[in-house]
Structure 1
Amino acid sequence: MDPIVEVVALLLGFLGWVLVGIALPNRYWKTSTVNGNVITTSTIYENLWMSCATDSTGVHDCREFPSLLALNGYIQASRALMVASIVLGAFGIVAALVGVQCSKAGGENYVLKGRIAGTAGVMFLLQGLCTMISVSWYAFNITQDFFNPIYPGTKFEIGEGLYIGWCSAVLAIAGGSCLTCSCKMGTEEKYPLPYQPRGTVYSGVAPTRSVAASTYGRNAYV
């Protein structure tokens, strides 16, 4: 595996992990604007942890969700997936730092380093999948309520936090795919075998022509 590709994959996984850390506390997972006059116009926005509102004067009022068990199931699942994504990404970064060929950690056993790099790639893939499922599931519920004509509550739109999450998932999946390709599970380094001539090779002084002829006659006719 090309060391440059491994370094690029590590950077992609790291960027994906950083964006997960940015998307998780972002307040704008879904937004809604309530139109009115200049004074009463307000914007409502929510994420996985709280619901906030701001008016045209710039005053913000946030309220954390009081009960975990009272939340919708998709919000609880999105929380768990995003936290799992951060944990998987952290382990993936550590494993990738050990497994890349340009790293001195792990010694000179490149077969072992390749397996560690492959493990890091799997962790980055899982990180990206967890993030993708979380933000996509959350966005699906937003769009489902928005296009439901009989939905009685406030209709929200997709916020910037979900777009950051999608970018994070794409970067993590791309980095994980590259690192997984460097995995050398069950393979050994192949070296050329030394040349071995067929037959038996004898060392010593070659017999003279007369000795060889006499030996040949004796073997042939005796």
Structure 2
Amino acid sequence: MYTCRMVLLTRKLVQRLALLVTFGGLVTTFVTTFLPLWKTLNTDLNEMENWYEGLWHSCIFTEEVGLQCKAFDSLLALPADVLVSRVLMLASIVMGALAVAVAFFGLDGVELGPGHRRLKRGLLVLGGVLSWVSGITTLLPISLVAYVTVVEFWDESLPDVVPRWEFGEALFSGWFSGLFLIIGGSFFFVSLCMDDCSEPLSPPSTQEMPRIQHYRKTEIL
């Protein structure tokens, strides 16, 4: 009986760990989407100025004034990688939120009424799939912006005096958030693959059954 309780406790812990990791990846993705730190630039002419650029704003940091940001003027004037990254990151936030909401009702201990065991299993499967999709749609724009940044940094057609954009902190947080979402979705499937614990059968009684004496009927002739 003690082993059975330990197995059930482990299953619940895996499910709650999956929900926690998925929620952490969702929050990190949300913050990464609106951070203006996707790319950074520092010029040799003025080392006191640092330029930053994200999906929504471009910013400049100086020691005298601090951080000043300005939103992009036109949606049509955005580069293709920034526009695609906006759409994918917003889709990732929506998918991640749905994954957390759906999987919550599939957790052990959350009552949906009698006879809903198959429904709860389906909710965990759907939550895991949505978490995977959210993680992939986070990793794609992050990797796309990183690829474009690398290509432009090593572009030999540009003069050496032209400053080049480099990786910002938001790219690294985006990679971590995408991995968290994929790991969280995988933990949901791990919890489903764990065998359900069944109560052990009671040991047979060692008490001897009373002997039944059988008497043979005899006839006296």
1:92 corresponds to: 99
1:99 match: secondary structure: coil
Q: Distance in 2 between matches of 1:34 and 1:25?
A: 24
| 1:158 matched to 2:131 | no
Q: Distance in 2 between matches of 1:107 and 1:25?
A: 43
Listed one character per residue, the Cα deviations across residues 30-59 of structure 1 (whole Å, up to 9, x for unaligned) are 00111236xx73111100011111224244
2:64 corresponds to: 57
Q: Distance in 1 between matches of 2:182 and 2:113?
A: 25
2:146 corresponds to: 139
Q: Distance in 2 between matches of 1:103 and 1:145?
A: 51
Q: CA RMSD in A?
A: 2.6
Structure with larger Rg: 1
Q: Higher relative CO (CA 8 A, sep ≥ 6), structure 1 or 2? A: 2
Residue 124 of structure 1, CA deviation: 0.5
Distance 1:75 1:107, change over 3 A: farther
Residue 182 of structure 1, CA deviation: 4.4
Could you list the runs of 5+ residues in structure 2 that have no partner in the other structure? 1-7, 199-215
Could you list the runs of 5+ residues in structure 1 that have no partner in the other structure? 185-189, 191-207, 211-222
2:155 match: secondary structure: coil
> What is the count of residue pairs matched by the alignment?
189
Task: Kindly provide the amino acid, as one letter, of the partner of residue 99 in structure 1.
Answer: G
1:62 match: secondary structure: strand
Indicate the percent of aligned positions where both proteins have the same amino acid: 32
Extract structure 1 runs of 4+ deviating beyond 6 A: none
TM-score (norm 2): 0.77
Q: Distance in 1 between matches of 2:134 and 2:114?
A: 27
1:202 corresponds to: none
1:175 corresponds to: 184
